[in-house]
């Protein structure tokens, strides 16, 4: 029996072949443009890599070995046997196109109604600065930032006894990937803090006035926090264990997601991106396959 006939029903092969045939190769070709000779077609290299990742093989060094012996690789690679260096370069170049490939995959799936476009965010909210409270000079737990009332209409902050606090700064707080959020800093007058009945619980050790930091869009996070404490939010937490966490477990156990095989952020991004695309490629393929089976 020919190799193609023998692997005609192989989900890994068919999922990858379908993805490669539908993908826009322009971004992939651009990643290889101007790099000298091209003895292998980039889309065939990518197909071989995805098939191997679906088998839990994530190391480019091992890709070269399996490319010569693995029947799935022989089929999707059209008999090519790339070298170890070629496959290492393929992994590194993936950082240039893998995000675009994944975006296209999801957009196509939505357009073809394989998945729904309506998305409702259920995600835990990180703790705000000062939300837990420190110990005061007298050993009491400090009044937290959450106990300071935000006035949406005037964009002002009131302390627990009702006094307005003045905004003293507005600065950028850096986040990952060059992003930032706007942080507002509020202070209370020393005279009010000195005569306040809550000073023992409110002021930090060595401080004569209370300072509170708040994100400019903190109201969105506060609304999300309330949502997560609702019945629907608590239900989503239980669903996360059954759906989301299983995907993480699958990537670690079956796709070799427990370790990386290259140094630096670029290579880590490329390797992780390849795994995500391969995993979602198979998921969408099986989703459509099951839907068609039910129809028949």
With left for phi above 0 and alpha for psi between -120 and 50, is residue 78 left, alpha or beta? Answer: left
pLDDT value at residue 174: 87
CA angle 40, 268, 69 (to 5 degrees): 40
In the predicted structure, residue 41 carries a pLDDT above the cut 90: no
Mean pLDDT is lowest, of 67-76, 205-214, 251-260, for: 251-260
Buried/exposed code over 259-272 (b: 16+ C-beta within 10 A; e: otherwise): eebbeeeebeebbb
| pLDDT classification of 192: cutoffs 50, 70, 90 | very high
Give the DSSP H/E element, type plus range, for residue 30: helix 26-32
Domain count, the chain: 1
Q: Is residue 124 part of a domain?
A: no
pLDDT value at residue 34: 67
Q: Considering the chain, what percentage of its residues have pLDDT values greater than 90? A: 21
pLDDT in tens, 171-184: 998 887 788 889 99
pLDDT in tens, 276-287: 999 899 989 988
| pLDDT classification of 157: cutoffs 50, 70, 90 | very high
Q: Give the Cα separation of 296 and 279 in Å (integer).
A: 26
Q: Is residue 135 part of a domain?
A: no
Q: Which two tokens stand for residue 295?
A: 């129809």
In the predicted structure, residue 65 carries a pLDDT above the cut 80: yes
* Residue 62 belongs to domain spanning: 3-118+258-295
pLDDT value at residue 117: 78
3-state secondary structure at position 180: strand
pLDDT in tens, 102-145: 998 888 888 888 777 777 788 888 776 555 667 766 677 888 88
Q: Is residue 200 part of a domain?
A: no
Residue 282 burial (CB count, 10 A): 20
**Residue range 149-168: mean pLDDT, rounded:** 90
Handedness of CA 99, 86, 4, 68 (dihedral sign): negative
Q: Is residue 150 part of a domain?
A: no
pTM summary value: 0.63
Q: Which two tokens stand for residue 39?
A: 């003895």
Q: Which two tokens stand for residue 232?
A: 């629907």
pLDDT in tens, 193-241: 999 999 888 888 888 999 999 888 888 888 898 898 898 888 887 777 6
With left for phi above 0 and alpha for psi between -120 and 50, is residue 130 left, alpha or beta? Answer: left
Q: Considering the chain, what percentage of its residues have pLDDT values greater than 70? A: 87
Q: Is residue 31 part of a domain?
A: yes
Q: Is residue 161 part of a domain?
A: no
Q: Is residue 182 part of a domain?
A: no
Q: Give the Cα separation of 254 and 55 in Å (integer).
A: 7
pLDDT value at residue 49: 93
Q: Which of 109, 125, 127 is nearest to 117 (CA)?
A: 109
Q: Which two tokens stand for residue 146?
A: 């959450």
Q: Which DSSP letter does residue 144 get?
A: P
Q: Is residue 17 part of a domain?
A: yes
């Amino acid at each position: 029996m020919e190799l193609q006939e023998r692997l005609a029903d192989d989900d890994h092969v068919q999922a990858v072949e379908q993805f490669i045939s539908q993908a826009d190769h322009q971004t992939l070709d651009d990643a290889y443009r101007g790099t000298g000779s091209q003895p292998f077609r980039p889309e065939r290299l990518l197909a071989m890599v995805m098939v191997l990742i679906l088998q839990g093989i994530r190391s480019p060094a091992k890709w070269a070995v399996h490319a010569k012996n693995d029947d799935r690789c022989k089929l999707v690679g059209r008999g090519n046997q790339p070298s170890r260096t070629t496959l290492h370069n393929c992994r590194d170049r993936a950082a240039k196109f893998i995000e675009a490939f994944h975006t296209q995959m999801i957009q196509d799936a939505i357009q073809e109604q394989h998945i729904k476009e309506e998305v409702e965010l259920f995600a835990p909210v990180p703790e705000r600065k000062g939300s837990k409270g420190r110990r005061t000079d007298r050993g009491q737990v400090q009044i937290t930032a959450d106990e300071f009332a935000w006035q949406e209409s005037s964009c002002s902050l009131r302390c627990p006894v009702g006094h307005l606090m003045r905004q003293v700064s507005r600065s950028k707080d850096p986040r990952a990937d060059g992003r930032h959020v706007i942080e507002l800093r509020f202070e209370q007058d020393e005279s009010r803090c000195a005569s306040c009945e809550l000073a023992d619980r409110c002021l930090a050790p060595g401080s004569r006035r209370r300072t509170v930091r708040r994100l400019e869009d903190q109201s969105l996070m506060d609304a999300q926090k309330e949502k997560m404490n609702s019945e629907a939010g608590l239900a989503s937490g239980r669903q996360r264990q059954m759906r989301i966490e299983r995907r993480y477990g699958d990537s670690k156990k079956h796709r070799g997601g427990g370790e990386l095989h290259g140094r630096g952020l670029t290579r880590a991004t490329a390797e992780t991106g390849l795994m995500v695309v391969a995993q979602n490629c198979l998921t969408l393929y099986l989703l459509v396959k099951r839907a068609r089976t039910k129809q028949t």
